[in-house]
A = this chain, B = another copy of it.
Amino acid sequence: MSLLRTRSGSGKSKNQIILIFVSKKISWKPGTLIYPLPAALISCGTSPEDYNLFTVSWMGTICSNPPMCYISVRKERHSYNIIKESGEFVINLTNEDLAFAADWCGVRSGKDYNKFEEMKLTAVPGEMVKAPIVQESPLCIECKIKEIIELGSHDMFISDVINVQADSRYIDPETDTFKLSDAKLIAYSHGHYYKLGEEIGKFGWTVQKKKK
């Protein structure tokens, strides 16, 4: 908490106010507070009739080489069985244009809606998986499940990244590099969606120039 000390000025008309903030930690109940995270659209299904979309933030990279990732999904979710049975899914990163769909597909169920249709998104079969990619997403990561670990409320799908489809508009034709920074990705943090703001620095910037 903050300590507030007020000292009167010595005979003069001005008062000095000194604010001292003392950082104090409070133990909180154990919880899921790792943020910020993506709010990615996960697409699944092996044929247009059972294509579905849902939103996940419990996801991440777990290995660089080979490239591997996970998503954690509740058994109750409509897509759970589709993913489990097909052994495949696609992670579609979301940008500002897809923020509405990211939220909506996270609170509505594929039992009740054809989410691709409702969100006017385009399903295109993956290159290496039967699951569709979301054509409007800047980056679509095609995944094949290696192992399912039951943890409690969520099962973790440990997966190999087997292909990535990148929107050509973010590829610099001169350097042939993918400029994800141009894609205006969104972040999810503790119940709120945010745009990415000002850049602070590039990886390694603190050792590339003199420390002040």
- With both beta carbons as reference points, the residue of chain B lying nearest to A170 in the complex is identified as B26
Residues of B within 8 Å of A116, CB to CB, are: none
Residues of B within 8 Å of A131, CB to CB, are: none
Tally A residues with Cβ within 8 Å of B: 98
Q: Would you list which residues of chain A between 45 and 86 have a CB under 8 Å from chain B?
A: 57-70, 72
Please state the number of chain copies in the assembly: 2
- Cα distance A29–B22 in the bound complex, in angstroms: 49
- Cα distance A167–B57 in the bound complex, in angstroms: 24
Can you report 19 A-B residue pairs in the complex whose CB atoms are below 8 A from each other? A21-B169, A23-B136, A23-B167, A30-B160, A30-B162, A32-B61, A32-B64, A33-B93, A33-B180, A35-B185, A61-B72, A68-B151, A107-B204, A181-B189, A185-B189, A186-B200, A191-B202, A193-B199, A193-B200
